[in-house]
Amino acid sequence: MSITIIALLFVAYIIGSVPSAVWVGKVFYGVDVREHGSGNAGATNTFRVLGKKAGIPVLLLDITKGTIAVNLVWFQTQYGPFPAEIVPYTNLKLAFGFCGVVGHIFPVFAGFRGGKGIATLLGIVLAVHPQAALCSLVLFILVLIVTKYVSLGSIIAGVAFPLFIALVFKTEVLSLIMFSSIVAFLIILTHQKNILRLLHNKENKTYLLGKPKDLDELDKENPVH
């Protein structure tokens, strides 16, 4: 593996580590979103804690992180050996994307306490296979509209993604099928607590475009500690 690829893998992790939710909350609202709501440094909790004016920019930034991480492959084509000579082109994009989402979940700039990586994963899959990503996004939106559960929408869309890849679009790229399966597993893994709350009918519904609740009221409903 070339030094260029190793350096870009590290850069992808650093990009993913930019804690959009934490920085937006602290700089513009004086609030660390990890101390309220679900305790996650992600777009959904930002919507819940600070409302749409903070949530929408955080969502877009987190999606952009994933897309930028994948497209770091451009630097390899410009300044390193042609990727196919070392690592297949698609594999390289997936590797950069994976490092980006790891950075989001374990951000070096926020004490390794990040979010669940859903928005960043969306940015990655949009860059890697936009058709399957859009199908999963539509499914997520439908589940969210019907149930008001972001977690349920994320889980169903994540599990459906490899099915779209393999069965609907019939890709023959093994690495892409494996990556999409890892995405599904990762989403389930990071939503274990949500799954338990859903099973016990204790999961909180999220109205993304509604006004945020008072923080004291929110903390009583969702004790972080």
Cα–Cα distances (Å) from 49 to 93, 112, 143, 147, 212, in that order, read: 34, 20, 22, 20, 6
Measured between alpha carbons, how far is 205 from 194 in angstroms, rounded to an integer? 11
pLDDT tens digits, 157-208: 999 999 999 999 998 888 899 989 988 998 999 899 899 999 999 887 776 5
Task: Say what the pTM is.
Answer: 0.83
Average pLDDT over every residue of 52-77: 91
Instruction: Answer yes or no: is pLDDT of 43 > 60.
Output: yes
Q: Are residues 107 and 10 in the same domain?
A: yes
Residue 52's domain comprises 1-115
Same domain membership, residue 152 and residue 101 = no
Which pLDDT score is estimated for 211? 60
152 with 88, same domain? no
- For residue 225, what pLDDT band results from cuts at 50, 70 and 90? very low
Q: Domain check: are 106 and 45 in the same one?
A: yes
Residue 213, in any domain of the structure: no
Asked whether residue 32 falls in the same domain as residue 72, the answer is yes
Same domain, 2 and 81: yes
Asked if residue 138 and residue 49 are part of one domain, the reply reads: no
* pLDDT for position 46: 92
Residue with tokens 């939710």: 21
Whether 218 is covered by a domain: the verdict is no
pLDDT of residue 216: 60
Is 217 a domain residue? no
- For residue range 12-32, list pLDDT tens digits in order: 999 999 999 999 999 999 999
CA distance 113 to 105: 7
Residues 90 and 184 both lie in one domain: no
Domain match, 104 and 177 both: no
The reply to whether 83 and 193 lie within a common domain is no
Q: Whole-number mean pLDDT of the chain?
A: 87
Q: DSSP string spanning 37-51? A: TT---SHHHHHHHH-
